[in-house]
Amino acid sequence: MRNKLTEDNPTLFIDQYGDPVIASTARELADKAGGRKITKQYQDKKDGRVVWNGYVVGSRWFTAFKWKEVEA
């Protein structure tokens, strides 16, 4: 199952400087990052696939990380 950005599914984004931003949508990420233009970022895999891995907002590159909350 693919994880999508949704209002109820926040995503951790980390930019190239190591600064974290938690956002539920690409627009929210852009607002928090202080940018306007949003471009999808892709990564080439060793097996030849190209996969989405985050966004470029202005001059910052954000890599997306998913997690699940664990109940104690």
- Domain segments of the chain: what residues? 11-65
Predicted TM-score (pTM) of the model is 0.78
Beta sheet of 38-44, edge-to-edge order = 20-23, 11-15, 60-65, 50-57, 38-44
- pLDDT (tens digit, 9 = 90+) per residue, 11-65? 999 999 999 999 999 999 999 999 889 999 999 999 999 999 999 999 999 999 8
7, pLDDT greater than 90: no
